[in-house]
Structure 1
Amino acid sequence: MASVSFFIRGKVADKESTIWVRFRDKGIDIKAPVPYLKCKPKDWKDGKCKLTSKKITENDSDTINIRLIKLETEIISKYYEESPDIDLKDWLEYVILPTKSKPDKEEYSDNVLLFIDDYISLKERNVAKSTIKKTNVVKQLLNRYVEDRKIRKKNFKNLRFKDLDNSFKADFEEYCQKENYKISTTYRNLKFLKMICKVAESFDIEVHKHTAMWKFDIEKATKAIPKSIYLTFDELQRIEEKEMPFDYLDNAKDWLLIACYTAQRVSDYLRFTSSMIVEDSEGQKYLEFTQQKTNARMKIPLLKKVQDILFKRGGEFPRKISDVNLNLYIKQVCEISGINEIVYNGKVMVVEREDKSKIIRKVFGSYPKYELVTSHIGRKSFASNFYEKIPTAYLLNFTGHTTEKQLLTYINKTDVEKAKSTAQIFNKLGF
């Protein structure tokens, strides 16, 4: 959900400083000054002026705080009304100061690949690096598709937005199937392309009318594919109790357990340090940090399992390790701990094409569970293990998901496990 907050950058307590606005939404975090509103640092607290009657000039009808409230409302309403997608900083500055000349729309190419480059250059200031990375991945796939189509159809030169009809969609799906992409991945990429088409239309680029009617039932496409695995409480206990033969494996084991009891992404939990731990007046310890992917400010209880690991290590988190090595080592940790149940799922492997070239794809089959363990299993394990044991709202506070729908993608319990959990809940209620 979009949000607006205000802050000042000045440090001199008695010198007026320009108030800044910070606008945030999913994947968006931009800041801009409000040149006509100022406040002294000594009079500023929690995004407001402490002097509630303070005005810019004596003749003003509104106080500074009232003007901030009105500006916040204006920014949010215009954001949902106009749905700006690129040039967000310029858009925000224009909302703050409407007298500023609105930037003219530039002319952009109707070549899909060239336009994606423009899209990246316009978005990279306002979105997370991971979003730009995903955009580049889709662009590279489209580029390979274009090169393949040039070979198949001699008169084909470039992919233009007006070429994106249903015939293109069918041909692209066929190409992705030949390249061993999962149908769910193909749908996600087409869904991204549909979004790019909407952006292109906002710049008056001609887009084929078929794209607006494309539908992607990703849930249906993935129905027959097993959900990602997770480590149960019993398996975590076995891992915790198993002594590792080498120090580097013991270090990796502790990171794996921390991941499973903090519910964070590998990009976050491998950055944990003891300096992030805070304690309240009742002695409860918390971890305070900012999630790298979402920029969300987090404060989660430090569970006893994590505190035990810190106690074992003199109050510090395990040694730093790269996520590449962690992925390798935790497979060994789980193998030594006997996490070897044979399960049907996907494993990333090198696949040889018909022309003998090699590509990396997820191949489904029956594998020992330890071979399927990755650094992301901690987040999935936490969500699956604690779902139905604590209120969903509290679970969302831990994972940082904004909706229950997002959370449910991590709940990997089988129908039998769900039925047992449901029965236990009703038994406790006396029914």
Structure 2
Amino acid sequence: MASVNFRLRSKANKNVAIKVYLSTGRNNLIELNTGFTINPKDWSDTTNRPKQNTDTNKQLFNELKKLDSYIFNNLNTDLSKGVLIDKFWLQNQINECFKRVEKIDSGLLKNHIQYIIDNANTRKIVGSPKIGISESRIKGYETFKKIIEDYEKKSLKKQIHLLDINKSFVDKFINWLINSKHYSKNYAGKQIDNLKTVCLDASKMEIQTNPYIKQIQGFTEPNDERFIVTLSFDELEQIRTCNKLTNEAHINARKWILIGCEIGQRGGDLLNITRENIRYKGGRMYLDLIQQKTKKSVTIGIINPHVIDILENEFPYKVSSQKLNEHIKKVCQLAEINEIVEGKKLNPNAKKENPESMRKIRGFYPKWELVTSHTFRRSFATNYYKKIPTAVLIGITGHSKESLFLDYINKSEDKDANADLFMQFYEQLNKDKAPELKVIKNGTND
């Protein structure tokens, strides 16, 4: 049977620390400082509590009584959930009971995440001579820290130390991300990638970590669970020629759709382009930009006459990604992009005050309901795949290798198609060459 009690470890004639010890049976005893002190002459060995001989000691008696109840209440709850009861759990109970500010501990997972955030502008970027991680990556770490804090508070009831991160911890964390938080498998997999990155970074700084961290592996959802929403060339023409757009915001959004599906960039990079990104060479238009996420310098040749006209004469004004996503859905609805397709859409009954309801639901919907600014980039890659050499497309989208590009558009490598494309270009290359004349010897010296 579990028990909570208090004691002093010294009889010195001065204030000494009051210890709390928790016994959960089978010789499992945990002892920590409560943060309170008392002179041993004011301590009762009979009750193991302060004597109530002064107002100060009466207050101290009540504080320990409060802590006793707080530990017992949470102990019963957490034991029923199978939560590990250890010194970290007990320390967390003491801190939460008295609303104490935690001391910085480099061994805590969330503290090392904060360390990375605080030093973001001087962090070395792997594979690059530059330093400083991107704003989007910083936001990713900030979100990851909130997820960890949520897991500590709602599930573990304790702080996570880097030494805690073993296989059992990772398995339970994945289960919580997918089955309790209802995150998509892709999003959950990214958080596991973040966990490994933070742990390895701490290990490089000689902070003690669990050896298992090197075996942590992220994951993505299976191809049969991925739903790639794209706009075909025919659908883009429907959008371009739609005469139902009267709202200025919708007309502006249509311009972004047509540009976005022709340049293959992420939404943030798309909305950041200006006329300054445009240059001309030999009468042709080029668009130069540096991708925010990868820091890659990309050049796109613009040849679609409608897009050239927009960029030269009707350049769209910038809007937020959120507003753009709202407007492009309306544009696609008015353009009758109504094909019923399978995909995932935010729960229509979701409430901001209930984060657990803010999840996407798999189903069949009119395509316009599923279109987002990310559809532009995927449409570009899908529409031009097998029409333009993959290496050229990768140079524009910024994918580091072909396998990632194919995974992005949910395609497997087609070796025959690659061979066909090679022969097509070879024939084109050699079609204008004159046949070579061969000299045949007639067997004489003439």
Q: Which residue of 2 aligns with 1:189?
A: 191
Structure 1 residue 392 and structure 2 residue 394: aligned?
no
Distance 1:224 1:289 in 2: 34
Residue type of the partner of 1:225? E
- Does the CA contact (< 8 Å) of 1:396 and 1:407 recur in 2? yes
CA displacement at 1:300 relative to structure 2: 1.6
Residue among 321, 324, 328 paired with 2:326: 328
For residues 190-214 of structure 1, give each alpha carbon's deviation from its aligned partner in whole angstroms, at most 9, with x where no partner exists: 1221121111112222212222223
Q: Which residue of 2 aligns with 1:65?
A: none
1:171-186 superposed matches below 5 A = 171-176=172-177, 177-186=179-188
1:3-18 superposed matches below 5 A = none
- Does the CA contact (< 8 Å) of 2:121 and 2:133 recur in 1? yes
For residues 309-349 of structure 1, give each alpha carbon's deviation from its aligned partner in whole angstroms, at most 9, with x where no partner exists: 345xxx24123322222111111111111111111111133
Distance 2:349 2:191 in 1: 21
Evaluate the alpha carbon distance shift between residue 253 and residue 137 of structure 1 in structure 2; reply closer, same or farther with a 3 A threshold: same
1:123-142 superposed matches below 5 A = 123-125=120-122, 126-142=132-148
1:20-419 superposed matches below 5 A = 109-125=106-122, 126-151=132-157, 157-176=158-177, 177-216=179-218, 218-219=219-220, 221-246=221-246, 247-280=248-281, 282-304=282-304, 305-310=306-311, 315-349=313-347, 358-412=356-410
Distance 1:111 1:123 in 2: 19
Evaluate the alpha carbon distance shift between residue 163 and residue 243 of structure 1 in structure 2; reply closer, same or farther with a 3 A threshold: same
Q: Which residue of 2 aligns with 1:67?
A: none
Evaluate the alpha carbon distance shift between residue 310 and residue 201 of structure 1 in structure 2; reply closer, same or farther with a 3 A threshold: closer
Distance 1:338 1:420 in 2: 36
Distance 1:368 1:236 in 2: 16
Evaluate the alpha carbon distance shift between residue 171 and residue 237 of structure 1 in structure 2; reply closer, same or farther with a 3 A threshold: same
- Return 5+ residue gaps in structure 1 as ranges: 1-106, 152-156
Residue type of the partner of 1:172? F
Residue type of the partner of 2:145? K
Distance 1:356 1:296 in 2: 39
CA displacement at 1:352 relative to structure 2: 5.8
- Does the CA contact (< 8 Å) of 1:266 and 1:375 recur in 2? yes
CA displacement at 1:403 relative to structure 2: 2.1
Distance 1:289 1:222 in 2: 33
Residue type of the partner of 1:173? I
Distance 1:183 1:245 in 2: 37
For residues 360-399 of structure 1, give each alpha carbon's deviation from its aligned partner in whole angstroms, at most 9, with x where no partner exists: 2222111110000001111110001111111122112222
Q: Which residue of 2 aligns with 1:19?
A: none
Q: Which residue of 2 aligns with 1:20?
A: none
- Does the CA contact (< 8 Å) of 1:262 and 1:382 recur in 2? yes
CA displacement at 1:150 relative to structure 2: 4.2
Distance 2:424 2:369 in 1: 37
- Does the CA contact (< 8 Å) of 1:327 and 1:375 recur in 2? yes
- Does the CA contact (< 8 Å) of 2:350 and 2:359 recur in 1? no
Evaluate the alpha carbon distance shift between residue 301 and residue 423 of structure 1 in structure 2; reply closer, same or farther with a 3 A threshold: closer
Residue type of the partner of 2:405? L
- Does the CA contact (< 8 Å) of 2:182 and 2:356 recur in 1? no
Distance 1:271 1:215 in 2: 34
- Does the CA contact (< 8 Å) of 2:257 and 2:376 recur in 1? yes
Evaluate the alpha carbon distance shift between residue 325 and residue 187 of structure 1 in structure 2; reply closer, same or farther with a 3 A threshold: closer
- Does the CA contact (< 8 Å) of 2:230 and 2:382 recur in 1? yes
Q: Which SS does the other structure have where 1:207 is aligned?
A: coil
- Does the CA contact (< 8 Å) of 1:165 and 1:211 recur in 2? yes
CA displacement at 1:424 relative to structure 2: 8.4
Evaluate the alpha carbon distance shift between residue 306 and residue 357 of structure 1 in structure 2; reply closer, same or farther with a 3 A threshold: closer
- Does the CA contact (< 8 Å) of 2:181 and 2:356 recur in 1? no
- Does the CA contact (< 8 Å) of 1:230 and 1:412 recur in 2? no
Distance 1:283 1:225 in 2: 45
What is the TM-score of this pair, normalised by structure 1?
0.65
Distance 1:245 1:352 in 2: 29
Evaluate the alpha carbon distance shift between residue 396 and residue 210 of structure 1 in structure 2; reply closer, same or farther with a 3 A threshold: same
Distance 2:299 2:419 in 1: 33
CA displacement at 1:175 relative to structure 2: 1.6
Identity of aligned residues (%): 33
CA displacement at 1:116 relative to structure 2: 1.0
For residues 65-87 of structure 1, give each alpha carbon's deviation from its aligned partner in whole angstroms, at most 9, with x where no partner exists: xxxxxxxxxxxxxxxxxxxxxxx
For residues 13-61 of structure 1, give each alpha carbon's deviation from its aligned partner in whole angstroms, at most 9, with x where no partner exists: xxxxxxxxxxxxxxxxxxxxxxxxxxxxxxxxxxxxxxxxxxxxxxxxx
After TM superposition, the structure 1 stretch with the greater mean CA deviation from structure 2, 237-246 or 140-149, is 237-246
What is the TM-score of this pair, normalised by structure 2?
0.63
Evaluate the alpha carbon distance shift between residue 272 and residue 150 of structure 1 in structure 2; reply closer, same or farther with a 3 A threshold: closer
CA displacement at 1:243 relative to structure 2: 1.5
Q: Which SS does the other structure have where 1:384 is aligned?
A: helix
Residue type of the partner of 2:112? F
Evaluate the alpha carbon distance shift between residue 426 and residue 275 of structure 1 in structure 2; reply closer, same or farther with a 3 A threshold: closer
